[in-house]
């Protein structure tokens, strides 16, 4: 066989194979094309290859080279067709009418912290700069820490089952409840440490309130406690003023109204003036001598101040949120704003 005839046969084969593979539309037609051209026994490539033996010696090398090229070309055509058919079935081919390249892609959004978490981080930071370290306490408490040691009498309305989430069951004789205030942490810290003490506690508290724009059965408090020699009401006032100026702005004024809490004497209610209004943010006072005694401190040696502020209130004022329930509905369209 003259080399010209052999090369001619190869060219025709290449063209035919290319056309056939391009025309294949599914796995079956592709497999039929593969067998037709690349079949190991009677494939057309094999048939043409047989002619190679008849090409005269000096031309064999060139013929063999061309043969290899055509073989690669046909194998590539098979591979391309295979990929095209696979992509087509997953709808991603640009030639597939179901594929719309003008559709927007998936955008990734950065996550962000919940406004309460953001507030807590900032409160910890501000109070840290004022020298207060962060302390933690359990959310399931006993009566001693939630009431007794805080000088709350056994017949006090704050102990009413309607005001608290008491926990039934359990094997111990101790009555437990979800803490109703972070003042519990004051006791836990004083039980384990000697003055000077300068701490805050930030965490969840629970009361069976019906949810409305300003109430929720779970909320957060920031408790502060400072116990040392010669601590006075002036220290308390200055600390809260500095805090309010740092967190809410330098134009915020602080007002104390006389009040009563069993664990402080005297006690005050703390208001911040902001946006033309006085708003109550929590309670404070000088630590009651009975509380100091309950943890083994001598009230003649040390005095202290304490305060408890509503974190939701601070956060809502800060971010302009008007309904506490929005903080806990977990609607990301709302939460994303902060």
Residues contributing to the site for ligand DAH (CB under 6 A): 181, 183, 223, 261, 264, 282-285, 306-308
Closest contact distance (angstroms) between CB of 136 and ligand DAH is 16
Closer to ligand DAH at the Cβ: 200 or 321? 200
Which residue's CB is nearer to ligand DAH, number 119 or number 267? Answer: 267
Compute the CA torsion angle 328, 332, 335, 337 (nearest 10 deg).
Answer: -160
Q: Is 252 helix (H, G, I), strand (E, B) or coil?
A: coil
d(CA 229, CA 7): 106
| Tokens found for residue 152 | 């709350």
What is the nearest approach in angstroms of ligand DAH to the Cβ of residue 188? 13
Minimum CB–partner distance for residue 176 and ligand DAH (Å): 18
Judge contact between 281 and 238, C-beta under 8 A: no
Q: What is the Cα–Cα distance from 29 to 330, expressed in whole angstroms?
A: 54
> What gap in Å lies between CA 207 and CA 161, rounded to an integer?
10
Q: 115 or 283: whose CB is closer to ligand DAH?
A: 283
Comparing CB distances to ligand DAH, the nearer of 75 and 259 is: 259
Per DSSP, the three-state class of 262 is: coil
Give min distance, CB of 197 to ligand DAH, in A.
13
Q: Residue 293 Cβ, how far from ligand DAH at the closest point, in Å?
A: 16
Identify which of residues 46 and 193 has a Cβ nearer to ligand DAH in the complex.
193
Give whichever of 183 and 239 is closer to ligand DAH, judged by the CB atom. 183
With b for 16 or more beta-carbon neighbours within 10 A and e for fewer, the 249-274 pattern comes to eeebebebeeeebbbbeebbbbbbeb
Q: For the chain, what is the radius of gyration of the CA atoms?
A: 40
Q: How far is the CB of 269 from ligand DAH (least distance, A)?
A: 8
């Amino acid at each position: 066989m003259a080399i010209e005839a052999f090369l001619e046969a190869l060219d025709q084969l290449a063209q035919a194979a290319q056309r056939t593979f391009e025309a294949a539309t599914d796995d079956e037609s592709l497999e039929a094309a593969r067998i037709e051209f690349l079949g190991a026994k009677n494939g057309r490539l094999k048939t043409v290859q047989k002619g190679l033996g008849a090409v005269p010696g000096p031309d064999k090398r060139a013929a063999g080279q061309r043969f290899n090229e055509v073989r690669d070309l046909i194998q590539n055509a098979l591979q391309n067709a295979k990929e095209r058919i696979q992509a087509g079935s997953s709808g991603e081919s640009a030639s597939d009418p179901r594929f719309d390249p003008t559709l927007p892609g998936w955008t990734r959004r950065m996550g962000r912290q919940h406004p309460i978490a953001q507030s807590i981080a900032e409160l910890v930071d501000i109070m840290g700069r004022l020298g207060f370290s962060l302390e933690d306490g359990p959310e399931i408490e006993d009566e001693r820490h939630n009431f007794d040691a805080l000088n709350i009498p056994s017949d006090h309305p704050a102990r009413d089952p309607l005001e608290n989430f008491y926990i039934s069951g359990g094997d111990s004789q101790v009555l437990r409840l979800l803490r109703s205030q972070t003042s519990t942490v004051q006791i836990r810290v004083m039980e384990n440490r000697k003055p000077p003490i300068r701490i805050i506690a930030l965490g969840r508290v629970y009361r069976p309130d019906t949810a409305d724009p300003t109430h929720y059965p779970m909320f957060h408090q920031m408790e502060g406690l400072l116990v040392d020699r010669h601590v006075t009401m002036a220290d308390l006032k200055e600390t809260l003023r500095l805090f309010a100026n740092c967190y809410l702005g330098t134009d915020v004024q602080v007002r104390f109204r006389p009040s009563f809490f069993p664990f402080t004497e005297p006690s005050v209610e703390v208001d911040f003036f902001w946006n033309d209004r006085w708003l109550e943010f929590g309670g404070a006072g000088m630590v009651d001598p009975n509380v100091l005694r309950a943890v083994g401190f001598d009230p003649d040696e040390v005095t202290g101040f304490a305060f408890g502020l509503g974190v939701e209130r601070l956060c809502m004022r800060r971010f302009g949120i008007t309904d506490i329930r929005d903080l806990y509905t977990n609607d990301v369209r709302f939460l994303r704003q902060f």
